[in-house]
Chain A
Amino acid sequence: MATMVTAPRGAGADAPSPASHGRSAGRRRLVWRNTAAGWSFILPNFIGFAALTMVPIIVLFYVSSTQWNIYRHTATWTGSANWIQMWHDPLFWKSLWNTLYYAGVHIPLTMAAALGLALLLNRKLRGVAFFRTAAFFPYITSVVALCYVWNLLFSPNYGPINEFLRWVGVDNPPGWTTKSTWAMPAVIVVGTWREMGYYMLLYLAGLQTIPSQLYEAATVDGASAWQKFRNVTLPGLRHTTFLVTVLITIGSFKVFDVILLLTQGGPGQSTYVLSQYIYQKGFVESQFGYASAVAVVLFAICFLVTIIQYRVNRRGNA
C-alpha cells in the first residue's frame, strides 16, 4: 500500500535541524506536543474505527481457516479444509459466476447511464437543476420499499412494465423476476436505476472542472461534437472516471440488499451472489468459518480489482 501514495507531506518537518541545542529541545517538545494533540483529535473516531472495522478485517483471515462454534465461541483450526470444501462447492462457483455476471453488465451500464445523464444535464437549461437532484433521489430512499415496488412493476401479467411492452408490440414480454433467465437482467435494471443518479453527480462535478477554453479552442479548430467528446471531455474526466470505476466495481461485487429483497437469489439460484452466500452460510447456517472463507474471496476480488484499476489509471497519467 505504501507505494501507492504520494510522498507524505510534512514528513520532512520532523527531521532534526542543525540548530543550537536549546532550539532543538524546543523543537522536540513541539513535535511531541503536536503528536499528542493530533492523536487526541483522531482517537475518539479511531478507537471506534479500529475496534469495529480494522480488527474484524484482520480477524477475518483467522476465522476463515477455522471451524467456529457459535455457541461457545471457540475456534478449531482446520487449515485448508474450508478452502478445499469451497473448491468443490458448486453453489460457491454458481454465486461467484452470478456476481461476475451482475458486475460485468451493471458496471458498464451504470457508467454509461451516469455519464450520459451528466452530459445531458451539464448545460444551462430551465429545469435542469431539478433533474440533477431528482436523479439522485432513488439512491437515498428506502431500498426495502423500492424493491417491493419494482417487483410489482415487473409483475409478468399485471405489471405496468409488461403492459407497456405489449402496447408497443412485444407479444411475449419477459417474466422478469419470476423467470431464471430474466431475473438477473431485472436485478441489474433496478441496481442501475438506483445508483446512476449518484454517479451522475460525480461525473457532473468532474465535468465542471474541465476549462471551457478547451472546448472553445476545439470549436475554433473545427472539431465535431464527437471529436470534442473524445479529445476534451474524456481526457478531462480521467480522474472522475477512475473514482467512479473503483466505486461502482466494489459496489457491484458486494451487491446484496437489492438481490435479497427482489429475488432472494432465485428463481432457483439464478441470482444467487457471493454476499448472499456469505450471509446464508454465516447467519442462517451458522458456519462462521466457512462463510469467512467465502468472504476472503470477496475481499480478495475487491482488493485486486482496485489495485489493477489504480495501475491502469497511473499508466494513463504517465
Chain B
Amino acid sequence: MMAAIANAQVDPAALTVPGRRAEPAPPRRILGRVALYTVLILAAAALFLPFYWMAVSSLKHTNEVFTAPVHWLPSTVVWHNYLDIWQKAQMSTWLRNTLFLSVVVTFLQVLTGSFAAYGFSKIRFRGRELLFLAYIGTIAVPWQSYMIPQFILFSRIKLTNTLWSIVALQAFGAFGVFLMKQFFESIPEELSEAARIDGLSEYGIWRRIMLPLSMPAVASLSLLTFVTTWNDYLGPLLYLRDPGVRTIQLGLSRFIDAYNAEYSLIMTGSVLSVIPIAIIFALGQRYFVEGIATTGLKG
C-alpha cells in the first residue's frame, strides 16, 4: 500500500499551465463562463474572509471589533496597534526563536533528507526496501499517538524546555526523504554512471551532480519545512514551557489567553505571525505546489 503512496508520481509542471487566449465564444459558452467566475469569486471570498477580517480588525479600536451591524472597514485606522504589540508582548523574542528553529530545522531536514534519499534511490544494497518500508509505514501513525513515549525520551535526555527539542522533533522527518527520493529517481542513472567512471565517489556524485540538478526539489522541501516549523503549535505547546523559549505560535496563544479582551491587538499579533509566511508563499508559490504534487505527504 505504502509503495502506492510513495509512487503516486505526477507531473507537477503541468499544474502551472499558462492561460490560453480566449477565442470568440458562442453565447452559451459566455454564460457558462460567467457562472464559473461567479462560483470562483464566491469561493475566493470564502477563502479570504478570515484573512480580510484579521487585517481589518488589527487596524480597529478594540471596541470596534464587535459591532452590530458589522463594520467592514475601521472608522478610524489605528496604526498604533502595530507599535503597542511590541511593548505588550515579547514579539521579538518569539520571532527570534521561531526564525532560529525554522532555519536550523530546514537546514538539517534538507541535508539529512537528501543524503538519505540518495542512498534509497541510487545505491542498491540488501535491506534497502525494508528500511524504506519502515519510513513509509510511519505515515499511517499519527504523531499524537506516540507523543507521550517521545516526551518521556526527550525528558530523559534533558531536551525538554529547550529549542533543541523542536529541532529534534522536526528535523529528521520522513517527508524530506520522500520528496528528495522522488526527484532523484527522475534523474537518469547514466549521469551518475558517467560520474562514477570519471572517478567521483558516491558522496561526490551527491554533492556535485544530484544536488545541483535537484534545486527545484530542494527549494520545495526548504519552503515547506520552513513554513511547517514556523506554524507548528503542538510541538512548542508540549515542550517549551519558559517564556524565553516561546515561539510565535505558542507566544500568540499565550497572549490570547492573557489578554483575551484585546481583540484588535491579538489581530495585530496574528497579522505579524502570518506576514512572513505570506511573503515566502508569494515568492515561492511554484515550489509549494510542486512539492505537494510530487509527494502528497505533508501533514
Contact = CB atoms under 8 A, between A and B. Distances in A.
Given A149-B267, A243-B5, A298 B145 contact: yes
B89 to A, nearest CB: 13
B292 A313 contact: no
Interface in A1-24: 1-2, 4-6, 8-11, 13-14
B258 interface: no
Interface string B138-168: 1111111111111111011000000000001
A35 B148 contact: no
Contact of A155 (B43, B66, B123, B298): B66
Contacts of A163: 68-70
Nearest to A283: B238
25 contacts: A4-B3, A5-B1, A38-B119, A48-B172, A49-B135, A53-B172, A59-B153, A125-B19, A132-B289, A137-B51, A140-B277, A143-B231, A144-B252, A144-B273, A149-B50, A152-B263, A158-B67, A160-B70, A204-B15, A239-B4, A239-B8, A243-B296, A246-B1, A254-B144, A302-B141
Interface stretch (B76-84, B109-117, B214-222): B109-117
A49 B174 contact: yes
Given A5-B3, A44-B116, A193 B234 contact: no
Given A38-B119, A208-B10, A254-B145, 10 more contacts: A8-B130, A35-B126, A49-B172, A57-B146, A59-B153, A133-B289, A143-B249, A160-B53, A197-B47, A295-B148
Most buried by B among A49, A68, A302: A49
A44 B124 CA distance: 18
Interface residues of A, number: 117
Interface string A118-147: 001000111111011111111011111110
Contacts of B296: 202, 205, 243-244, 247
B48 to A, nearest CB: 8
A133 B285 contact: yes
A59 B150 CA distance: 9
B231 A142 contact: yes
Given A143-B233, A201-B289, A302-B140, A41 B119 contact: yes
Minimum-distance CB pairs A-B, first 5:
A48-B172, A41-B119, A310-B1, A145-B270, A254-B142
B243 interface: no
A148 B270 contact: yes
Contacts of A81: none
Nearest to B277: A141
A2 B129 CA distance: 10
Contact of A313 (B4, B125, B138): B4
A145 B129 contact: no
Contact of B129 (A9, A49, A159): A9
Q: Is the interface of A mostly helix, strand, loop or mixed?
A: helix
A186 B116 CA distance: 42
Given A54-B134, A157-B68, A4 B1 contact: yes
A299 to B, nearest CB: 4
B251 to A, nearest CB: 9
Interface of B: 1-5, 8, 10-12, 14-20, 22, 33, 36, 39-40, 43-44, 46-51, 53-54, 57, 65-70, 111-113, 115-116, 118-120, 123-131, 133-135, 137-153, 155-156, 168-169, 171-174, 176-177, 202, 206, 224, 227-228, 230-231, 233-234, 238, 248-249, 252-253, 256, 263, 266-267, 269-271, 273-274, 277-278, 281, 285, 288-289, 292-293, 296-299
Nearest to B129: A8
Nearest to B15: A204
B218 to A, nearest CB: 15
A208 B119 contact: no
A251 B143 CA distance: 10
Most buried by B among A44, A57, A205, A274: A205
